[in-house]
């Protein structure tokens, strides 16, 4: 994930950014994409990123399931066969506040649709999807309003790394930053 040129190009470097803070190179070389996805961990940077890309999992018994449904399912003993990523034109951004992470945010922007994923809240990653009125464009007030809406929709919790209040504040801040960055990337291309 970190070094794959195709994924780096497709995600404009967001995939690499989503994994570069995970412990260290030696640990990342031992970790697997399947393990990160199948575990459905609330702190998973990888799951947050794949949710933003509108991906799917194929399970041996369960068949093909959208990642957004799979991420909310209870753990079972099925087998993850593969991960499917739709190859649609989109722009992605990945941001996080680190300290394990405290909170993660990934945004996937297709022509008239945006997917905002908030992870490490410390519950499972949460996906918010919105239809857009215009292609790849946000007005300043729309970014602010969308960030506030996401902040209201995403419940956060406290643990030894951060309080729920701090995480809630970060939801708005990282969402705004990600929306501004992904729109800039989309309009450069």
What are 43-102's pLDDT values in tens digits? 888 999 999 998 999 999 999 999 999 999 998 999 999 999 988 999 999 998 876 789
Quick one: 152 exposed, middle or buried, by C-beta within 10 A (0-12, 13-18, 19+)?
Answer: exposed
The whole-angstrom separation of Cα 62 and Cα 40 is 16
CB 156 within 8 A of CB 171: yes
Residues 81 and 172: their CA atoms lie apart, in Å, by 36
First-last CA distance in the chain: 23
Q: What is the pLDDT of residues 127-164, one digit of tens each?
A: 999 998 877 677 778 899 999 999 999 999 999 989 99
């Amino acid at each position: 994930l970190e070094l794959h040129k195709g994924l780096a190009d497709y995600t404009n470097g967001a995939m690499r950014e989503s994994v570069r803070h995970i412990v260290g190179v030696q640990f990342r070389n031992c970790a697997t994409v399947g393990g990160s996805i199948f575990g459905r961990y609330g702190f998973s940077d990888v799951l947050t990123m794949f949710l933003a890309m509108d991906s799917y999992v194929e399970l041996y018994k369960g068949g093909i399931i959208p990642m957004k449904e799979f991420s909310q399912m209870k753990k079972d003993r099925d087998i993850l066969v593969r991960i499917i990523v739709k190859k649609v034109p989109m722009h992605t951004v990945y941001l996080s506040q680190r300290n394990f992470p405290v909170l993660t945010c990934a945004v996937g922007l297709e022509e008239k649709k945006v997917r905002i994923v908030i992870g490490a809240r410390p519950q499972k990653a949460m996906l918010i999807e919105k239809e857009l009125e215009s292609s790849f464009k946000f007005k300043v007030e729309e970014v602010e309003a969308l960030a506030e809406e996401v902040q209201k929709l995403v419940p956060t919790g406290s643990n030894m790394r951060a309080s729920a209040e701090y995480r809630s504040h970060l939801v708005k801040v990282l969402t705004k930053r990600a929306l501004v960055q992904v729109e800039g990337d989309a309009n450069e291309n």
